[in-house]
Amino acid sequence: MRAQQALGITIFFVGLVHAQPSAPASAGTALVDGIPVTDPLVISKCSSCHVKDSQGNLSRISWIRTTPEGWQEAVKRMVRLNGLALTPEEARLIVKSLSATHGLAPEEARPVMYMPEHRIIDEQYASPTIREACASCHALGRPASWRRSKEEWQLLVNMHIGYFPNAEGSAFRRPPGRGGAAPNGATGGAPAPPPPQPVDAALDFLSKTYPLRTPEWAAWRARMRTPRLAGKWLVAAHYAGHGNYIGEMTIAAGEKEDEFTSNIRLTPVSGGPALERTGRGLVYAGYSWRGRSSGSGSPDPGAIPAEMHETMWISPEGTQANGRWFWGAYDEFGFDVKLTRASDGPILLSTDRLALKAGSQSQQVRVLGDNLPARVSPADLDFGAGLTVRRIVSNSARELVAEVDVAQNAISGKRDIVLGRTVLPSAIAIYDRIDYIKIVPDTGMARLGGASQRQKGYQQFEVMAYNRGIDNKPNTDDDVELGPIDVAWSVEEFFERFDDDDKLFVGSLNPSTGLFTPNIDGPNPERKQSGNNYGNVWVVATAKNEKDRLGKPLVGKAYLVVAPPLYIIWDQEIDR
């Protein structure tokens, strides 16, 4: 099941439904110590319902940790359901406070950053039972973004049964006769005990995997500090369907110690006008950046807009950051970004070539970076085994151009580029031939819109070429990604019924860029029974210059679902 936190109706995974203390422990079992709440604002606004004990714990709150988005959901739920009165500024301060004292450690947050980054990924499940209990309604990333005591996980189950009673029969418990014990005598003896119900297996898994107290949180609480991000950061970014960008993000201190302003300049590696923007950001818990940037933009689908959102995970030592800058009605467009703090020494960021063919000679490669030496000799630059730097064509502080020969017998695989003590890992791939191509993503989603005043949700595809790798077998773990190649895009019918005709109605695919534009929502009088324009199709990429062993063009396929508009959005993203 694909995590669709930004593209579908989701159930809020928040346990703060009403005030009550943590559930009593069973006989002989001690409750986990809570995390005291010390912020006077949180105490004053929450303690009228969440009872404060002698250790400074507030019932429910002190036995929960989560992300800034999780705490914002909890606060909004309290306002909606329990009549909590807050000004916007008070709400923001409470979210900031709880994210710091009852948040996640960087190591805990990183595996679920795809949630605040609004990515769609293929989630992995510990077992089919966990998928049945949790992910049949929402992304598994939702519970994985929380840490709770065992009693709090049980209370969360109770909340689901109370607010979403259909979950009991559809996800939490199997009906009699399905997965239960065999009848007496069916196996020649006593019936086998039934397997655990999905909800019980999920409760056991969540309690053990995502407990309240963890070594990671204990370590981070000890070392958490005010973020010191001011200065120049170097940016390497990828914009799906548009290639790679490099540039700078200059960060300056804001009005408060966890607030910042930014100036951004990005340039396409392949050439073109620079992108310049200004922004502001807030850092939660010392490492979690949420921000916005603005600049000149275009309203055209897939074009860079006037405003975009920023979500980044900052490394604990404060030298690297990774994340996504995104936009669109369904947050479907975005840059994947990596930031490196600038230093006095040279830094390598990117190259203009992602792959070189074995046996090729006099290949010019642009190596892009910052603070590069004024004089670079061929001996200073190392492309790895099988590659020889013939000469340095040119070099400056931001770029050097090297002329490279690739040996005929060079082993296929990724190569680091090394300049002195500076390394650009897996910067360039060597291959003898392109064996196949893949479309990314291999399963996409678009949403109809327009006629109902709901905005359309687009899907950008791109293609990647691959070499079979050292095991000489395609589609295995050692295959080498070579980057995009020139293809023609088209749509084919995904046949699932007789006279299927979705291809004619779901929308159009740009034959050169791979951007799918959905049709307007229906009903459509030109379709049978005036049906809506939803459906599913194959997206096909046909290589223009690369052929297989039989001399036919390489072809890749991806599955595309074109769904109706999202008519209800229960909650919006965190305010920035």
Q: Are 61 and 16 in contact (CB under 8 A)?
A: yes
Phi first, then psi, for residue 436 (nearest 5°) are -165, 170
Q: What is the pLDDT of residue 453?
A: 81
Q: DSSP label at 168?
A: I
State yes or no: pLDDT of 253 exceeds 90. yes
* Burial class for 149, CB neighbours closer than 10 Å (0-12, 13-18, 19+): buried
More confident residue, 243 or 126: 243
State yes or no: pLDDT of 198 exceeds 60. yes
Return the CATH number of the domain spanning residue range 347-431.
2.60.40.10
State yes or no: pLDDT of 8 exceeds 70. no
What is the SS3 assignment for 84? Answer: coil
Same topology between domain 231-341 and domain 347-431: no
- Residue of 203, 201, 267, 194 lying closest to 236 (CA atoms): 267
State yes or no: pLDDT of 6 exceeds 70. no
**Per-residue pLDDT averaged across 401-406, rounded?**
97
Return the CATH number of the domain spanning residue range 436-563.
2.60.40.10
Q: Quote the mean pLDDT of the chain.
A: 90
Beta bridge partners of 507: 518
What sign results for the dihedral spanned by CA atoms 78, 84, 85, 91?
A: negative
Task: Please tell me the distance from the alpha carbon of residue 557 to that of residue 541, in angstroms, as a whole number.
Answer: 6
Domain positions in the chain: 40-181+193-222, 231-341, 347-431, 436-563
Q: What is the pLDDT of residue 466?
A: 97
Phi first, then psi, for residue 153 (nearest 5°) are -65, -40
Q: Are 87 and 290 in contact (CB under 8 A)?
A: no
**CATH says 231-341 is which class?**
mainly beta
